[in-house]
Structure 1
């Protein structure tokens, strides 16, 4: 991917959000302003998506922008970034960002809320891969 949002024209995307994640993002947006996600692929909490104020986590050539998520009630898209190294292993998966009870990383904005973001994944179908240009 070239760092721009590239969903297929039919709306096929690599990333979606659960209702619980959407609700949490709305609350976080009210408190912190525009948001972004980054998933580094590290161990432990590093393997969970981390939510930051937009621009607080510096992305670069070692990161891939998987999606600009449109979230009802959030005025601007929420970027979802992943380390390029992890993307090479996960390029054939569809990711759903969810929010569940529990304590996440201290660096992610949801940590004080008593919930954490996590990823649920499934393989992209052959049709989805074709629409995404794979």
Structure 2
């Protein structure tokens, strides 16, 4: 039975980002092939936001870059200041299209170039009133946890 895009989601250490099983598996495969990676969403004028992935050792945060959340396998989602302004009041789900993902290791071409090895998509929804209030509380210096 095919898995639907609205399949099970798994949240990892962030109440603002979730990861589909398909994306979690793609992250694991990329890490096995390339070592620790992160996802980075640059500013693009695109209806379908697609974060790039890159080895952590190659990432240099620019002024205004923001850590949006932590995902499976100790992977982080970073974004440019412009992208953060677009998604500041959103909950994001990282997904991989059903027909995309990391290229199998050991293929005859020596593997796909990194920019073609996996395609990630972000699906966004507005934060609920409770989520927005918790975010605002954390921004004001609160801990965002109830006792």
- Contact 1:41–1:48 (CA under 8 A) maintained in structure 2: no
Using the size of structure 1 for normalisation, the TM-score is 0.73
How much is the aligned-residue C-alpha RMSD, in angstroms? 2.5
In the TM superposition, residue 68 of structure 1 has moved relative to its aligned partner by: 2.1
- Contact 2:91–2:124 (CA under 8 A) maintained in structure 1: yes
In the TM superposition, residue 44 of structure 1 has moved relative to its aligned partner by: 5.1
Higher Cα radius of gyration: 2
**Match of 2:120, SS?**
strand
Gaps of 5+ in 2: 1-12, 102-112, 138-147
Measure the CA separation in 2 of the matches of 1:55 and 1:16: 24
Structure 1 residue aligned with 2:125: 122
In the TM superposition, residue 43 of structure 1 has moved relative to its aligned partner by: 3.6
Using the size of structure 2 for normalisation, the TM-score is 0.67
In the TM superposition, residue 50 of structure 1 has moved relative to its aligned partner by: 0.8
TM-superposition CA deviations, 1:47-72 (whole Å, max 9, x none): 31111111313212221101122x2x
Structure 1 residue aligned with 2:116: 111
Runs of 4+, deviation exceeding 4 Å: none
Alignment of 1:18-33 (within 5 A): 18-33=20-35
Measure the CA separation in 2 of the matches of 1:79 and 1:47: 16
Alignment of 1:42-53 (within 5 A): 42-43=44-45, 47-53=49-55
Structure 2 residue aligned with 1:79: 76
Structure 1 residue aligned with 2:145: none
